[in-house]
Amino acid sequence: MRSGLYLSESAQLRYASGAMLYFAQGMPKGLLNIAVPAWLAANGLGAAEIASYLAIIVLPWAFKLLSGPLMDRFEFLPMGNRRPWVLGAQLGLVISLCCLMLIDDPMSQLGMLTALGALINVFAATQDVATDGLAIDLVPETEHGRINASMSFGKSVGWAISAGASGTLLANYGLGVAGMVASVVCALVFVAFLFVREREGERILPWTQGRAATEHREPPSFRSVFGRLNRVLWSRASWTMFAIMFLYGLTSGYGDALMPIAAVKLFGFTTEQWSQLVALVHE
């Protein structure tokens, strides 16, 4: 199995891969954060239950800082520094989205839906950290602005398309079909990135031929990593940023929980209409 797609050698490939992977990250947000709350509201679920569902499924994104030390500590360099983590998280995203087919009645299985939503976001957040690490390792400083723009574009398009399509699928076919469609799209991204390698000579899969293109370095201990992290977190700049992000999250989270309920119950929007409106406004 041979491939000439090396991230270290092509800026266009780096931009395309970043946009593609971030597009996949946007799929769960459009489905779980936009379409599903409106669908639950249309089926009579109360504001408290919907707010609790949203609060739990977004929690994995708050703990992304724990993923980085794990990726530094556990490596498989024959496949690249970050690529194994990207592929593993993307595969987890595919499987967990497919598991939404196990929910027959979301209204009576809200706990299971919430748990699966959190699991899906664990993989999405892990893929996000691994993709960022990939960019830090391979993207020259002069390309940072363009790669950030490519990633942001991919994620915005991904969740906008997912929101619009998921609203239609939920209203007409149910959660299982919506989850399967999202899973198939993420599977296509997985297959496409499978043939992209960080550097020439590395393996495509663990059992194929290839070698590590970078030297193995003894990873830092968890104690030293979290010691440095702790010092950064207690700095004045970090606390200022925490305050800003907390206030932003408070207001945006309040709106995210109430808007689909108000749209459906007060203004008469259908799940499909609300999801497509949010997708259109965001794009």
Quick one: 5-282 is in which CATH superfamily?
MFS general substrate transporter like domains (1.20.1250.20)
As a whole number of angstroms, the distance between CA 255 and CA 194 comes to: 38
Helix 144-172 and helix 271-282, axial crossing angle in degrees, nearest 10:
170
- Residues 13-42: tens digit of each pLDDT: 999 999 999 999 999 999 998 899 989 988
Task: Show me where the domains of the chain are located.
Answer: 5-282
- As a whole number of angstroms, the distance between CA 275 and CA 37 comes to 10
Taking Cα atoms as reference points, which of 181, 205, 211 lies closest to residue 191? 205
* pLDDT score, position 1: 45
CB atoms within 10 A of CB 223: 8
Share the mean pLDDT of the chain. Answer: 84
Angle at 267 between CA 263 and CA 269, to 5 degrees: 60
Q: How confident is the model at residue 182 (pLDDT cuts 50, 70, 90)?
A: very high
The two three-digit tokens of residue 61, written as one number: 């994104």
Q: What percent of the chain has pLDDT over 70?
A: 84
Q: What is the pLDDT of residue 226?
A: 67
Q: Using CA atoms, how far apart are residues 279 and 115, in angstroms rounded to an integer?
A: 25
Q: Which two tokens stand for residue 203?
A: 């393996």
Question: Has residue 158 got a pLDDT over 50?
Answer: yes
Residue 241 or residue 102, greater confidence: 102
Q: Which residues contact 150 (CB under 8 A, 6 or more apart)?
A: 15, 16, 18, 19, 22
- How far apart CA 104 and CA 1 sit, in angstroms, is 41
Amino acid 195: pLDDT: 92
Residue 117: its pLDDT value, please? 95
Least-confidence region, from 82-96, 121-135, 213-227: 213-227
